[in-house]
Amino acid sequence: MEPTDVIDATESESEPVADADDLVEEELLVEEISIDGMCGVY
């Protein structure tokens, strides 16, 4: 029988957890729109 890899579930538990205060959601601060082709709209 071929050896199988065993995933140690405890590994992920030992990873550092970021402090909630350090987590800042990335903000979408700029949005570019094209107005080409709108000349006939107005």
Partner 1 sequence: MLSFDADQPYRLHDRVALRPEPFGALAYHYDNRRLNFLRAPELVALVESLGSHDSVRHAYDASGIDARRWPSFEKALASLAASDFLVAT
Q: Encoding tokens for residue 28?
A: 């979408």
Measure the CA–CA gap between 1 and 33, rounded to whole angstroms: 60
Task: Give 7 or 39: the residue with its C-beta nearer to partner 1.
Answer: 39
- Under the binding rule (CB under 8 A), the answer on residue 19 touching partner 1 is no
Measure the CA–CA gap between 40 and 19, rounded to whole angstroms: 53
- Under the binding rule (CB under 8 A), the answer on residue 41 touching partner 1 is no
Task: Give 1 or 38: the residue with its C-beta nearer to partner 1.
Answer: 38
Q: Which residues bind partner 1 (CB under 8 A)?
A: 22, 24, 26-36
